[in-house]
Amino acid sequence: MNKGTKMPSIVVIFGGTGDLTHRKLMPSLYNLFHQRQLPDSFAIVSVGRKDFSDEEYREQVRISIEKFTRFKLTEDVWSIMRERIYYVRFNFSDDGGYVKLKNILEEMDDKYNTNGNRTYYLAVSPEYFAVIVDKLKHHDMALSEKSIRRLVIEKPFGKDLSSAEELNDKITRVFTEDNVYRIDHYLGKEMIQNIMVLRFSNPIFGHLWNNNYIDNVQITSSETVGVENRGGYYENAGALKDMIQNHLFQLLTLIAMEAPVNLDTKSIRDEKIKILKAIKHVDEDFVRHNMVRGQYGPGEIGINKVNGYRQEEKVAPDSDVETFVAMKVFVDNFRWAGVPFYLRTGKRMKNKTTEIVIQFKELPKILYARENNLVPNLLIIKVQPMEGVIFQFNAKKPGTGNEIVPVKMDFCQNCQMENNSPEAYERLISDVLKGDSTLFTRWDEVEYSWRFVDKIISIWKNSKEQFPNYVSGTWGPEASQELLSRDNRQWWEI
């Protein structure tokens, strides 16, 4: 089957009653169905441990779609889709359940002409990944010479390098790397997909995209919410594992990568992995001088008073888990030598945003720059919640004087259709059905990012921070600002 053609398939969702399925997967499948972007030979089977009939489950899915879909649910579309949704109840470790599921899927192959093709989506806790894959193999449901079987896995992929390697070994003994789709939903966002288009289809950017013209790059992903009901998970993760190891490193590779020889999946991924390999070595000196970690304390978000991290549910009262990380890294290659990449992520921050700021070098102190305190040229790529690109440059302020002020050219991708901007999962699910793994994470990307993070965590274990060290509703600990100010730079807040 050619990449780009959606294969007939039964999508089997393990974790069919979970939050991810109801908030993201089912609404995205409905949106694709609404746009006629699913194959005619298609069905959905959800697997869960709760006791529901098909009709009861379909009604729950309908409620979720009405609440979370970007297209209004219409009866003509829903009436067709609902008949293709089924629910099977069993425990993920129960062999009898897999026997039952296999029989149901084979019957549905005849009904929907799906040719034995399967897309297994593991929307479950990571401890079930290996269990489910092993059971699929044991019951001869994973591999087939006559059909295509794909596996989709949500993050986190391991909790460190060792566990990631063990999990990958178990999975790739059953499914080939080409049929394993490790989802990072950030890569499905519209503006993330636009980064390569901006870089490689516009000569104005292509010629300036190097250390001759760029002073620094800043990547920020901030949230105003705390850990909410994820305290148990976060106690074993923290911001470094939860955000830096996957999301922010993915953004860094897209910004820094060289132009691929063509736009096929392997060529793009090969260029991304070169960037991860080129990041400077991590040691105690690096962590001491180039990293800041923090934990939020009580404060205010808007008009609401909020608890500190240590007061959250399922969080230890003396927890030393970080909810904020800032770092400065260098990519040691000819294009980026000497250009710092500043990354930061945190919870309970001042604003919710994911954005990339490219700061261009300042002019020498001659002509207008001699007498005016000119603001640097900035290119801002806004990923969420608003999507778009801003270019900031200097211009004369209207009037009789000669004052120079920064002005902005602003392209907003979703200002007019904020609620109709395609959901990341729509694109990713569509790509799985087409066999296009470009926006998914290859194993060696996971491996190199874990190598980097593991070294940092090992060093952190030998030192303690005074937590909490920033007030909720701010931009993190003061040391984060100092990380840039000692380089005569600042975090840009656009």
State CA 468 to chain mean position distance: 27
CB-CB contact of 455 with 327 (8 Å): no
CB-CB contact of 476 with 346 (8 Å): yes
Flag whether 165 is marked binding.
Answer: no
Flag whether 189 is marked binding.
Answer: yes
Could you give the CA distance from residue 18 to residue 198 in angstroms, rounded to a whole number? 37
Flag whether 272 is marked binding.
Answer: no
Flag whether 22 is marked binding.
Answer: no
Q: Tell me if residue 34 is catalytic.
A: no
468 burial (CB, 10 Å; 0-12 / 13-18 / 19+) is buried
pLDDT in tens, the chain (494 residues): 445 567 899 999 999 999 999 999 999 999 999 999 999 899 999 999 999 999 999 999 999 999 999 899 999 999 999 999 999 999 999 999 999 999 999 999 999 999 999 999 999 988 899 999 999 999 999 988 889 999 999 887 888 999 999 999 999 999 999 999 999 888 888 888 889 999 999 998 888 999 999 999 999 999 999 998 888 889 988 999 999 998 999 999 999 999 999 988 899 999 999 999 999 889 999 999 999 999 999 998 888 899 999 999 999 999 999 999 999 999 999 999 999 999 999 999 999 999 999 999 987 776 666 666 778 899 999 998 888 999 988 888 887 777 788 888 888 877 765 555 568 899 999 999 999 999 999 999 999 999 999 999 999 988 888 899 999 999 999 999 999 999 999 999 87
Q: Which residue, among 312, 156, 179, has the nearest Cα to 239 in the 3D structure?
A: 156
Q: Which residue, among 153, 12, 25, has the nearest Cα to 86 in the 3D structure?
A: 12
Question: Which of the residues 34, 138, 139, 247 is marked catalytic?
Answer: 247
Could you give the CA distance from residue 137 to residue 129 in angstroms, rounded to a whole number? 13
pLDDT at position 375: 83
Flag whether 242 is marked binding.
Answer: yes
Q: Which two tokens stand for residue 172?
A: 């790739």
Could you give the CA distance from residue 450 to residue 454 in angstroms, rounded to a whole number? 6
> Rounded to whole angstroms, what are the CA distances from 54 to 82, 96, 391?
10, 19, 52
Could you give the CA distance from residue 266 to residue 269 in angstroms, rounded to a whole number? 5
E strands of 310-459, at which residues? Answer: 324-330, 340-346, 353-360, 378-384, 388-396, 404-412
Tokens 């989802």, residue located: 183
Q: Which residue, among 60, 63, 58, 83, has the nearest Cα to 73 in the 3D structure?
A: 63
- Concatenate the DSSP letters of all residues of 246-308 into one string: IIIHHHHHHHHPPPPSSSSHHHHHHHHHHHHHHBPPP-HHHHHHHEEEE-EEEEEETTEEE--
> Rounded to whole angstroms, what are the CA distances from 202 to 207, 217, 360?
9, 19, 17
Flag whether 451 is marked binding.
Answer: no
Calculate the dihedral angle through the C-alpha atoms of 247, 251, 253, 256, rounding to the nearest 10 degrees: -160
What 430-435 contacts at long range (C-beta under 8 Å, 24+ apart), as own/partner pairs, is 430/6, 430/32, 430/37, 432/119, 432/150, 432/152, 432/181, 433/6, 433/7, 433/9, 433/38, 433/39, 433/119, 434/3, 434/4, 434/5, 434/6, 434/7, 435/1, 435/3, 435/7, 435/148, 435/150
Close Cβ partners of 412 (under 8 Å, ≥ 6 residues apart): 386, 387, 388
Q: Which two tokens stand for residue 258?
A: 């060289």
Flag whether 49 is marked binding.
Answer: yes
Q: DSSP code of 156?
A: P
The amino acid at 464: K
Could you give the CA distance from residue 137 to residue 141 in angstroms, rounded to a whole number? 6
Flag whether 223 is marked binding.
Answer: yes
160 burial (CB, 10 Å; 0-12 / 13-18 / 19+) is middle
Domains of the chain: 9-182 (3.40.50.720), 190-486 (3.30.360.10)
Could you give the CA distance from residue 229 to residue 233 in angstroms, rounded to a whole number? 9
> Rounded to whole angstroms, what are the CA distances from 86 to 54, 169, 291, 443?
5, 31, 49, 32
